[in-house]
Amino acid sequence: MRRLRRVKILATLGPSSSTPEMVEKLYRAGADVFRINMSHTSHDRMRELVQTIRDVEDEVARPIGILIDLQGPKLRVGRFAEGAAMLKTGQTFTLDSDETPGDETRVHLPHPEILEALEPGHALLLDDGKIRLVARSCTPQATVAEVVVGGRLSDRKGVSLPDTLIKTSAMTPKDHADLEAALATNSVDWIALSFVQRPEDITEAKDIIKGQAGVMTKIEKPQAMTRLTEIVELSDSVMVARGDLGVEMPLEKVPGLQKQMTRACRRAGKPVIIATQMLESMIAQPTPTRAEVSDVATAVFEGADAIMLSAESAAGAYPVEAVAMMNSIAMNVESDPYYRSIIDAQHAEPEATGADAISAAARQIAETLDLAAIICWTAYGTTARRAARERPKQPIIALTPSLETSRRLALAWGVHSVLTHDAHDLDDIVDRACDIAKDQGIADHGDRVIISAGVPLRVPGATNMLRIAYVDGDHVKRD
């Protein structure tokens, strides 16, 4: 089964989509990677879902990616004596370390790290930004704030801090436990880190993961945007998590930030995923709004590696229809006459390395000679991701002896990954590449393909060889 589109689709699993039958339907409708949200999933349930996905993978005989999304720190106010309090615009309101139930004048904030980090002038957004405060005086025991936008505040509502850098890890004890459980399955491809603020948060996670899975950084905090270049460099992939980002920053800034992040990731050759509310109305309706279709189309036109469904596939009434709709939108955009010119206009210059020069040359040669495919031999996925960074017109076939690499490449733009045993020598590389291109229906008799690889084989980042070959009957003619 080969996708007829370049952009990949992530589908979140949940109550509406966790049976083996539904997972297979979602895959056949277009899902390439499945997301398991640890905010709502126990370890036992996570293991069951991982096994279900792997069973479906065996059934469809194609690699499927699995993303485990860690919850991250959830910052919340304490409880009120009467369950809630009405905050009036202009009044003062105190958040403190006193565990006594709150009232209209104060509430417990069970996060000493916040009280220590807050400074006068910092904003506090409560209940998904519905209530807005500004800190006026701060001590490690209490912050007295002015209510700028009032409203009803009830027990355990969330706190967002767009101006405050909290000097604690982005990984909570729950995240550490969830991460260890996920890695113990030996079957997880990506780990998503929530509420990352600084590069050190990524380093901490990588020290634990030790290469067992790719690290996906979710950009949800304004603080992360100030160090975006460093964060992209350290990450294996990036998710534009527009939901929480839109709470902590003015909504009208989010589209521009989405473009900024997408282009930064494309320059770096790191997969970038656009997420949150892409087909939100399909939670309850069988068709999306025109604005939602345009939103998905914009992400595809920008050259994002993947687009993601959250509640639409996890808890909605039409999960299969949502995936099928996203697939249809993507295919129509990629066949649009303006698509190629928009993608090419954002093309990044290759970095000053031999491997990047080889990948750029492969794209140029493939387009100049109108070749049938770009074929990459890759042990760890590096060569294939470099080919994807070029956003070529031709299909990209990644040949790898590693099942783990094949699964991770399910997230990479335009990459059709095929698991195969390791090549013996250069002739074997060329012969098998042509045979597989023909078997996969990507090249036919008389077509030409271009093959890139690293010699010696299985050396990460050693892409240094290009070969053009004719696919001709049962033998190969080499240029």
The answer to whether residue 341 sits within a structural domain is no
Residue 183: count other Cβ atoms within 10 Å of its Cβ. Answer: 17
Please give the pLDDT value at position 473: 55
269 and 306 both lie in a single domain: yes
91 and 203 both lie in a single domain: no
The answer to whether residue 344 sits within a structural domain is no
56 and 178 both lie in a single domain: yes
292 and 199 both lie in a single domain: yes
The answer to whether residue 342 sits within a structural domain is no
Range of the domain at 263: 8-73+171-334
Please give the pLDDT value at position 170: 86
According to DSSP, the residues that pair with 159 across neighbouring strands are 126
Residue 351: count other Cβ atoms within 10 Å of its Cβ. Answer: 15
52 and 113 both lie in a single domain: no
453 and 324 both lie in a single domain: no
The answer to whether residue 347 sits within a structural domain is no
The answer on pLDDT for 123 being more than 70 is yes
User: Is the peptide bond prior to 392 cis by the omega test (within 30 degrees of 0)?
Assistant: no
* pLDDT-derived band at 48, boundaries 50, 70, 90: very high
139 and 214 both lie in a single domain: no
* pLDDT-derived band at 475, boundaries 50, 70, 90: very low
DSSP string, 361-384: HHHHHHHHTT-SEEEEE-SSSHHH
* pLDDT-derived band at 356, boundaries 50, 70, 90: confident
Query: Per the structure, how many domains does the chain have?
Result: 3
- The CATH number assigned to the domain holding 363 equals 3.40.1380.20
pLDDT digits (tens, 9 = 90+) for 56-96: 999 999 999 999 999 999 999 999 999 999 999 999 999 99
Predicted TM-score (pTM) of this structure: 0.93
The answer on pLDDT for 384 being more than 90 is yes
Please give the pLDDT value at position 369: 97
- CA 4 – CA 2 distance, rounded (Å): 6
323 and 219 both lie in a single domain: yes
Domain boundary among 131, 160, 189: 160
Are 434 and 449 contacting, i.e. CB atoms less than 8 angstroms apart? yes
pLDDT digits (tens, 9 = 90+) for 223-232: 999 999 999 9
pLDDT digits (tens, 9 = 90+) for 319-348: 999 999 999 999 999 999 999 999 999 888
175 and 152 both lie in a single domain: no
202 and 125 both lie in a single domain: no
Catalytic residues: 35, 76, 218, 276
Please give the pLDDT value at position 378: 93
Q: Mean pLDDT, to the nearest integer, of 194-214? A: 96
- The CATH number assigned to the domain holding 40 equals 3.20.20.60
203 and 246 both lie in a single domain: yes
For the chain, percent of residues with pLDDT exceeding 70: 97
Please give the pLDDT value at position 461: 61
Position 358: which residue type? Answer: I
pLDDT digits (tens, 9 = 90+) for 264-300: 999 999 999 999 999 999 999 999 999 999 999 999 9
Residue 398: count other Cβ atoms within 10 Å of its Cβ. Answer: 25
pLDDT digits (tens, 9 = 90+) for 16-35: 999 999 999 999 999 999 99
pLDDT digits (tens, 9 = 90+) for 221-260: 999 999 999 999 999 999 999 999 999 899 999 999 999 9
CA distances from 150 to 104, 340, 404, 451 (A): 11, 48, 51, 62
Rg, Å, the chain Cα set: 24
The answer to whether residue 214 sits within a structural domain is yes
